[in-house]
Amino acid sequence: MAPLLDDVRLHVFIGGEPASQEQLQERYRRQAVGGPPDGSQRWLTWVVRRRDDERAVGYVQATVADEPDGPVVEVAWVVAIGHQGQGYAREAAQVMVEWLREQGMVTVRAHVHPDHSASQSVARAVGLVKTPVVRDVGYRWYLVAEFGQGESGPGGPVASGSPAVGDHGNGRVE
């Protein structure tokens, strides 16, 4: 993943700079445990690959946090510059959000920079709606499940495993 993510253009809207291979390895070691030591979050990351040759093009992530009204999922997507504009982010984000909803996640949100039209399009494609709330570098976008009258959404933790793995449109999520 390091060569794909080693591009300053990926940081125009989110700030920062590309991580070195060593920094990425350390980040992935921390993320591989599935969450912080206090158990306040669950971290899920899927590599997005091209279907034709299985080469990685980016990743999607979900951070699940238990809040008083139930679990809330923060989602994000990153696709390498050379693979943008081909639908990978949209398809992978759709698969991820669909899987999260199947696991009982009621509230899904993302933070999208106000000038990042491509990410705004991805957010809309997965059903997120822009709110006036601004956090960090962008507006908060929400998707809240709609249940039948009088019902509440399920609130258990995300199941282990990943039914989202497999071929989807142009790419593959694993």
Q: Along the 174 residues of the chain, how does pLDDT read in single tens digits?
A: 888 888 888 878 777 788 888 888 888 888 888 888 998 999 999 999 999 999 999 999 999 998 888 889 999 999 999 999 999 999 999 999 999 989 888 889 998 888 899 999 999 999 998 888 887 766 677 766 543 222 233 332 222 334 344 444 555 454
Contact 69, 152 (CB under 8 A): no
* Cross-strand bridge partners of residue 78: 59
Contact 58, 4 (CB under 8 A): yes
Distances (CA, A) of 47 to 60, 142, 165: 7, 23, 10
- The sign of the torsion formed by the CA atoms of 93, 80, 49, 157 equals negative
CATH of the domain at 103: 3.40.630.30
For the chain, how many helices (H) and strands (E)? Answer: 4, 8
Question: What pLDDT was estimated at residue 75?
Answer: 95
Question: What pLDDT was estimated at residue 165?
Answer: 43
* Cross-strand bridge partners of residue 67: 70
Domain boundaries, position 36: 2-146
Does residue 131 belong to any structural domain of this protein? yes
Domain tally, the chain: 1
Does residue 62 belong to any structural domain of this protein? yes
Does residue 13 belong to any structural domain of this protein? yes
Contact 105, 64 (CB under 8 A): yes
* Cross-strand bridge partners of residue 16: none
Other CB atoms within 10 A of residue 148 CB? 5
Does residue 154 belong to any structural domain of this protein? no
Q: How is residue 65 written in tokens? A: 């946090």
pTM over 0.85: no
Question: What pLDDT was estimated at residue 137?
Answer: 66
* CA atoms of 119 and 117, how far apart (whole Å): 6
Question: What pLDDT was estimated at residue 144?
Answer: 65
Looking up tokens 């959000």, which residue turns up? 97
Does residue 172 belong to any structural domain of this protein? no
Question: What pLDDT was estimated at residue 143?
Answer: 67
Does residue 113 belong to any structural domain of this protein? yes
Does residue 72 belong to any structural domain of this protein? yes
Other CB atoms within 10 A of residue 167 CB? 10
Question: What pLDDT was estimated at residue 145?
Answer: 52
Question: What pLDDT was estimated at residue 43?
Answer: 92
Does residue 120 belong to any structural domain of this protein? yes
Looking up tokens 């759709």, which residue turns up? 94
